[in-house]
Amino acid sequence: MSQNESSPLKSSSSSLQVFSMMSLSPSLGSSYPWLKELKSEERGLYLIHLLLTCANHVATGSLENANIALEQISELASPDGDTMQRIAAYFTEALADRILKTWPGLHKAINSTRVVDLVSEQALVRRLFFEVFPFLKAAFLLVNQAIIEAMEGEKVVHVIDLDAAEPMQWIALIRGLSARPEGPPHLRITGIHVRKEVLDHMGHRLSEEAEKLDIPFQFNPVVGELEDLDVERLHVKTGEAVAISSVLRLHSLLASDDEPLRKKLPLALKNSNGIHLQRALQMSQNTLGELLEKDTVDGYSPSPDSASSSPLSSPVSPKVDTFLTALRGLLPKLVVITEQDSNHNGSTLMERLLESLHSYAALFDCLESTVSRASSDRLKLEKMLFGNEIKNIISCEGAERKERHEKLEKWIQRLDSAGFCNVPLSYYGMLQAKTLLQGYNCNGYKMKGENGCVMICWQDRPMFSVSAWRCRNSL
């Protein structure tokens, strides 16, 4: 949020008390002229109040009241406004989509003529994300350096990319391996992706680079979804030193049909949406900026373990556990995992809304600080990437909810249970990544080590984690 929009409120607490006592009544009509008179900070606080109120109505099935809240939010939210207005616009869309799913026929009819090439759209926004933010570039530096160090002295190296979408990562690795004092190894890269043309493009780019540097190289494309992967298709051969890289991919394997479990939740957990709302209406921060930066919403602080109390948030997940065990069976010399460091896999709507509100506020704030509001690339990123992720987190349940980002602590538990142990990332790799972040001429990008892993941050908030692993001695 820009400086001219973050002046302190004289009494934000009293303002919110007034907001919380206002009746969201149909009698207010479709026009709310007094909303337009709110100052930026007051508007931001009221938007948060309305989002939480609306989410609580949605969670409890009070759809008429949810509709009234959405009407007021629509008067204030805007996809091209300030940070809070933009965030509210996408959370509003997600809540509305969740309401529409109450009537499956209506939801299907409204979306029946929507033609979207999701894979092409994802490729476009991922490229934009790579170009606009330094997060993935820093992660690629850390991943490649870990692989180069682990493969020292190896003559045949096989790298398996679980989401082969970005050839630049492996072009940099090829260049790094070509500079080895002992000479480059024979390199084989296996790429997994749902689209053959993406893999064809990557194979062409990498083969071209390897030929220029005179490195023996082979590309093995595997077309298909990661959750359907048969490890036999990876064609791991005896004598190969195997490295596996997963960038923002493993969390999707956490998706499962949790509806049967949801019906068995204790009453106290089912009612926790209302408890979160009551806490969220006790705000006492001086400014909206402080509210978002301090990770506090009226007495409710999202914490790394906040989702652990829920039976649906347990690190146990048969699908991902089976997958990690299958990877362990390949006896890789190194596995490097990059994931968004957030709690978006809570069991209740309110829990996910509060957690995602904070994490996406940091991403939107990052854009606000570095990219013009009028930038078309910024609008595409916010709508096609962040907006779609928010919609999936808020609107979807069961196997349809793919964006189940979790904190590093959960991944450590899973990998340890699957028979892996942590390999501390090297100082040299961290130094390269830190230098890259500093080159963005923005003080907000930071990096810190944590238990041998690396957290890439915006301000003091961890945004992405990078961790390296090897097999323990025995299966």
Nearest in space to 341 (alpha carbons), one of 227, 201, 451, 231: 451
Structural domain of 46: 37-109+347-404
Amino acid at 91: F
Asked if residue 441 lies in contact with residue 319, where contact means CB atoms within 8 angstroms, the answer is: no
* Burial category of 371 from C-beta neighbours within 10 Å (exposed 0-12, middle 13-18, buried 19 and up): middle
CB atoms within 10 A of CB 113: 6
CA distance 454 to 282: 35
Residues 457 and 321 in one domain: yes
Residue 377 in any domain: the answer is yes
Same domain membership, residue 233 and residue 166 = yes
CA-nearest of 143, 90, 82 to 393 is 90
Cβ neighbours of residue 42 under 8 Å, at least 6 residues apart? Answer: 9, 12, 15
- The per-residue pLDDT for 318 is 84
Three-class DSSP labels, 261-280: HHHCCCHHHHCHHHHHHHHH
- Is residue 14 in a domain? no
Which residues, at least 6 apart from 100, have a Cβ–Cβ distance to it below 8 Å?
A: 106, 107, 110
In a domain, 124, yes or no: no
- Whether 200 and 79 map to the same domain: the answer is no
Residues 460 and 428 in one domain: yes
Say if residue 216 is in the same domain as residue 83.
no
Q: What is the structure's pLDDT at 256? A: 61
pLDDT tens series, the chain, 475 aa: 444 444 333 333 444 444 444 445 444 444 566 677 778 888 889 999 999 999 999 999 999 999 999 999 999 999 999 999 999 999 999 999 999 999 989 888 988 887 666 667 778 888 999 999 999 999 999 999 999 999 999 999 999 999 998 999 999 999 999 999 999 999 999 999 999 999 999 999 999 999 999 999 999 999 999 989 999 999 999 999 999 999 999 999 998 645 444 544 443 344 444 444 444 444 333 334 454 444 344 444 444 444 333 444 445 678 899 999 999 999 999 999 999 999 999 989 999 999 999 999 999 999 999 899 999 999 999 999 999 999 999 999 998 999 999 999 999 999 999 999 999 999 999 999 999 999 987 889 999 998 899 999 999 999 999 999 999 974 4
Q: How many domains does the chain have?
A: 2
Domain assignment of residue 143, yes or no: yes
Q: Quick one: pLDDT at residue 282?
A: 42
Same domain, 324 and 207: yes
φ and ψ of 348, to 5 deg: -105, 155
Q: Are residues 145 and 220 in the same domain?
A: yes
Three-state DSSP class for residue 242: strand
Which of 382, 404, 426 corresponds to the end of one domain? 404
Structural domain includes residue 319? yes
| Same-domain pairing of 417 and 397 | no
Quick check: is 281 in a domain?
no
State how far Cα 281 lies from the chain centre: 27
Mode of pairing for the β-strands spanning 156-161 and 420-423 = unpaired
